[in-house]
Every structure is written in C-alpha cells, then in structure tokens.
Amino acid sequence: MRILVVCLGNICRSPAAEAVLRDRLPAAEIDSAGTGNWHVGKPPHPPMIAAARARGYDLSQLRARQVRPDDFHDFDLILAMDRDNLADLQAIRPAGARAELRLFRDGGEVPDPYFSGDFDGALDLIEAAADALVSQPHISSATRVKTV
C-alpha cells in the first residue's frame, strides 16, 4: 500500500500526517506533497516540527515537494487535507490515474495551522484521522507486516 498525503504547501499538515501514518502503518510506503510550489525543498514549518516532536514524531528530515502527475499512478491512495486541496488534485489528475482520491479525515477537513496557529489542534485531528484510516479493513489488511 502506497499512500500520499497532500496539503497546500507541504510544510504543516501533510508532513505531520506522513509522520503519523508512518508510525501507524510501518509496512506501508507513505509520502507527502503540496498542491503549491512555494516551499519546495524546504523543511516543515518550525512550529509544526516542535508540536510533532512533543508527540514523538520526527519531521526534521522531511522536505516539501509539489504533487506530480506520476503520483496519481504511483500511489494507491491520495489523501487531501481539505476540500480545496481535493479540488486542486481532481483538477490535475491525469486521465487513467489509478489512485483513489479522497479527504484524509472522513466527514471533515484538517484546518491549516499555518494560518490559525493551532498546531496541536491540527495534530489532534491528524492522529484521529490516521487511527480511523488504519482501522479500515482494506487499509489494515494491505499494510499488515508479513512474517516468514
């Protein structure tokens, strides 16, 4: 199972979700990206790094990147942080793309803490959404660690 998490700039919500999902789904391949290109190559926003670190997640090695057309073929599931991100992804989705595309948080969005300053609130929503995702049978069975 390959999962891509997407937000606007790839410096707050999606890198935090990448770290949380890597923790929850160690057998899955997890990545993150942004719909915009303003922060490409830069580390996550320092307040998000600090908030994540306080919960045991290390974002320090992550670097922002922009969504690429190949992502829609390379990933099984692409999760958008809000409806605007989802609409942007739908607009650039290439014909014949195989990835399932939906909101990260069922029934809602993860507000952008870059604007609100609520990094802990965003992490609360991200952790809850990750736990809900992991509990879905098609996700948990596809990412189960295989033993010999």
Burial class (CB in 10 A: 0-12, 13-18, 19+), 103: middle
Token duo for residue 107: 């029934």
Active site residue 112: yes
How far apart are the C-alpha atoms of 89 and 71, rounded to whole Å? 11
Half-sphere exposure of 65 (CA within 13 A, CB side): 13
Instruction: Single out the catalytic residue among 13, 24, 65, 105.
Output: 13
Instruction: Single out the catalytic residue among 7, 12, 82, 88.
Output: 7
Using an 8 Å Cβ cutoff, are 35 and 6 in contact?
A: yes
Active site residue 7: yes
Instruction: Single out the catalytic residue among 71, 82, 88, 112.
Output: 112
SS (H, E, C) 7-56: ECCCCCHHHHHHHHHHHHCCCCEEEEEECCCCCCCCCCCHHHHHHHHHCC
Active site residue 88: no
Catalytically active residues are 7, 13, 112
